[in-house]
Amino acid sequence: MSKKDAILQAATRLFSEKGFKETSIAELSKATGAAEGTIFYHFKNKEDIFLCILEDTRNRVVEEFERYLEEEKFDTGLEMIEGACSFYFFLAGTMGDQFLLLHRRHPHELAEVNPVCREHLEAIYNSFVNGFERAILLGQKDGSIRKMSSKKIALIIFSMVDGLVRFKTYNLYDAGALHKEFMELCHSMLQKK
C-alpha cells in the first residue's frame, strides 16, 4: 500500500473514532509512520485529507449499493426493500469507519460551507434514498406495498435503518440483536392489508 493510502486509511480510523478536530497531524503521523511533512506533501491541508476520505467513501458506498440492487434478483418490491435494508446494515458493518464518520456532525457542518463536501454527502444519501424509493415504487406496482407517497416512505425507512445503525455505534443498548425484529416490523408496516 502506498504511503498516501496508508495515511488515508489511518485518518479514516482516527477521524471516525476521535473526530476531525480531535485528531492532530502529529498523531496521524505517528499512526502511519509517515513524517508530518509527508502528510502535507500529499494533501494540501487537514481538510483536504477529510475530503479525500469522503470522496472514497462516496465512490465505494454508491457503487456497492447500486451493484447490489442491480445484481440481486427480487420477486417483489417488498422483498427488494427488505434486501436494501439488510444491505445497509451489512455495509454499515463492513465499512464501519466510514459510517461512523458519516454519523459525525463534522461532515454535515462542513457541507454547509463547502460545496464539494456537500456534493459528496448528497450523493451518498441520494443513492440510498433513491434506491429505497425505486423498491417502493416497484412494490406499489406489483401490489406488495401499500399506497403512500413513495418519497416519504423512502425517507422514513432510511431514517429508521440509519437510526438503528447509529444506535448500535453508541451501544447504549444491544441494538445489534434487533435486526430480525426490525425486519419483521418493517414488513408489516409496508405490506398492503
Partner DNA sequence: TAAATTAGACTGAGCATTCAACCGGTTTTT
Partner DNA sequence: AAAAACCGGTTGAATGCTCAGTCTAATTTA
Chain contacts with DNA (rule: CB under 7 A): 2-4, 21, 23-27, 33-38, 40-42, 45-47
Residues sharing a CB contact under 8 Å with residue 114, sequence separation 6 or more, in sequence order: 47, 51
**Percent of residues in the chain assigned helix, strand, coil, to nearest 5:** 80, 0, 20
Q: Considering beta carbons, is residue 12 or 34 the nearer one to a second copy?
A: 12
Closest CA to 129 of 183, 91, 88: 88
Task: Report how many residues bind a second copy under the rule CB under 8 A.
Answer: 41
Q: For the window 52-91, what string marks contact with a second copy as x by the rule CB under 8 A? A: ----------------------------------------
Residues in 25-54 that interact with a second copy by CB under 8 A: none
H/E segment holding residue 175: none
Q: Does 137 bind a second copy (CB under 8 A)?
A: no
Angle at CA 52, nearest 5°, toward 7 and 107? 110
- From 44, 67, 108, 141, residue interacting with a second copy (rule: CB under 8 A): 108
